Amino acid sequence: MDLFDVLSLLGGLALFLFGMTVMSSALEKRAGNGLKNILGSMTSSPWKGFLLGLGVTAIIQSSSATTVMVVGFVNSGVMALEQAVGVIMGANLGTSVTSWLLSTTGIESQNFWVQLLKPSSFTPVLALVGISLCMFSKTQRKKDTGVILLGFAVLMFGMETMSSSVSGLRENEGFIRLLTLFSNPFLGVLIGAAFTAVIQSSSASVGILQALTATGSIPYATAVPIIMGQNIGTCISAVISCVGAGKNAKRAAVIHLSFNVIATLILLPLWYLAESLFAWSIADQIATPLGIAVAHTVFKVIALAMLMPFSQKLVQLSRWIIKDSPGGDETSLLDERLLATPSVAIARCRTVTCNMASLSVSSLQKALTLLESYDSKLADEIREEEDKVDMYEDKLGSYLVKLSAQDMTESDSAVATELLHMIGDFERISDHAVNIMRSADEIHAKKLHFSGQARQELAILSSAIHEILDLTLESFGKDDLNSAVMVEPLEQVVDYLKDYVKKQHIARLQKGECTIEMGFILADLLTDIERVSDHCSNIAGCLLEMEHDDLDIHEYLRKVKGGSVKEFNDYYEYFRKKYAVAE
């Protein structure tokens, strides 16, 4: 092996790792909503969690990415530690898919159809299709598919290059002496773990081992301990990601690490015990890419069969290693580990925004009840809820800005923009709740009273606001466009009612039936109520415009108010009759 072979090996390794990274990232992006739907099926059942981890890892071709997501979910409180065990175990098996794809490099046959299965035969076609999709496709999904094909082609080309460059080592005495060191099982495990920890990908590490089999000098006795070590080394991503996380997130990383360490501690001695007792000839046979894939998968399957029944024991072990503190374990609303998977991060942002929306709507509705019956405890709750809503807006806004800097699909990018628009409206609704509460405070402290007619008018207006808030929350929380369509007509009715109440108050003021002081309070209330309905209109308009891939909310509202939207007039008349006042 001369200098040019070394350069070829380094170039092949670079292409291999680059192709692996590009393909994995593109698969995550291409999965998009599909990945969100799979993660939405999370369950406490270990077996269903196992299938979830298996499916996600098979999609994105990275057990490291899956386990980092699990750490993020556990840290966010979305996934319980008991749920995480099955997902982690499934991820361990799912990553073996890559080794089977890479094993095709070892195909040798003179048969035309068998030769077509060799990467050197089909990767040029994949590369041509991939570059064509990237250059000429107009849709982002097709472009992402093209990137996947290109990444896979580069990966396989790098694999072939590495195999070709190291093939000459079969006669190199120095290389053979080096391999004798790896025949020590503990050193083999250590080398496999260390190398995988450095490149943070067991799939890539196994692929490199498969490429080295081209030397014809690596027996299974040497390869098997390295494979076991590789499964330990892949845990480094989860371990690194849990730094600074809550205790349950750290426990999830410990479960991932302990699963592979325990499996290695049990299976490695059994491997050598079986070899000595039964004199297996397989240990001395020269490894092939296919054999490496088989050994890699068999190790994972046996490990799962042994440890799956003891999944709760792994949870207990993690709790023993990472002990509870007196203050308990805090969770993070939005974990930055999820930023690496934008589709999942977007789903989490929407869930947190739903919580924020429910809190804002609840706070405003509580404030309206204070106008009818004052309660100081309820007023304190409104203040506390407004602080929580402010916290939600701050965290969501910062997180969404960071998320927008990631490479996202068009649909995810649109949702991020949608959420940035709407969290401001939800935060303002809670601000108006505090304003209404303060008006109620003033009425209660000064022992003021509205006239009977004013109370009736405010009751009608409050009922309309309750409904518009419910419709807004339902349209956003359930993505219900039918409810969203009803918001703007009701907002126009609220505007009409506000103007009507204001005119009636002026008339009562002229007759001496109302005081100027109560007039100021009423004016503040009407302003807050009108603006709440405006924010509801903004949110519903945003949802409807997003459905048509257009975020020009003001243009939409202009069309609605101009009567060009069919449903508007019907709903407007319906709400006018429902909230009719005596004129």
Q: How do residues 180-239 score in pLDDT, each as one tens digit?
A: 566 678 888 888 888 888 777 777 788 778 777 777 778 888 888 888 988 888 888 778
The confidence band for 519, taking pLDDT boundaries of 50, 70 and 90, is confident
What string of DSSP letters covers 114-180? Answer: HHTTSHHHHHHHHHHHHHHHHHH--SHHHHHHHHHHHHHHHHHHHHHHHHHHHGGGGG-HHHHHHHH
Q: What is the C-alpha radius of gyration for the chain, rounded to an integer number of angstroms?
A: 32
Q: If you average pLDDT over every residue of the chain, what do you get?
A: 80
Residues 105-158 pLDDT 10s = 655 656 666 566 666 677 788 889 889 988 888 877 788 888 888 888 887 787
Integer Cα distance of 172 and 10 in angstroms: 18
pLDDT of 551 reads 47
- The residues facing 286 across adjacent strands are 219
Q: What mean pLDDT do residues 66-87 have?
A: 78
- Helix, strand, coil shares of the chain, percent, nearest 5, are 85, 0, 15
Percentage of the chain beyond pLDDT 90 is: 19
pLDDT (mean) for 390-399: 92
Which residues are bridge partners to 219 per DSSP? 286
Q: What pLDDT is attached to residue 438?
A: 92
Q: Which is higher by pLDDT, 565 or 19?
A: 19
- pLDDT digit string, tens, across residues 478-499: 888 888 888 989 999 999 999 8
pLDDT, tens digit (0-9, with 9 covering 90-100), for 556-566: 556 555 554 55
**What integer pLDDT is reported at residue 360 of this predicted model?**
95
Confidence band of 59 (pLDDT split at 50, 70, 90): low
User: Do residues 399 and 349 touch, judged by C-beta distance below 8 A?
Assistant: yes
Nearest to 541 by CA among 497, 467, 493, 489: 489
Residues 6+ apart with CB under 8 A from 399: 334, 336, 345, 349
| C-alpha–C-alpha distance, residues 332 and 344, integer Å | 15
For every residue of 346-361, DSSP letters joined together read HHHHHHHHHHHHHHHH
Share of the chain above pLDDT 70, in %: 82
Structure token pair of residue 552: 């020009």
pLDDT digits 0-9 by tens, 315-329: 889 889 888 765 444
Q: What is the pTM of this model?
A: 0.70
CB atoms inside a 10 Å sphere around CB 554: 10
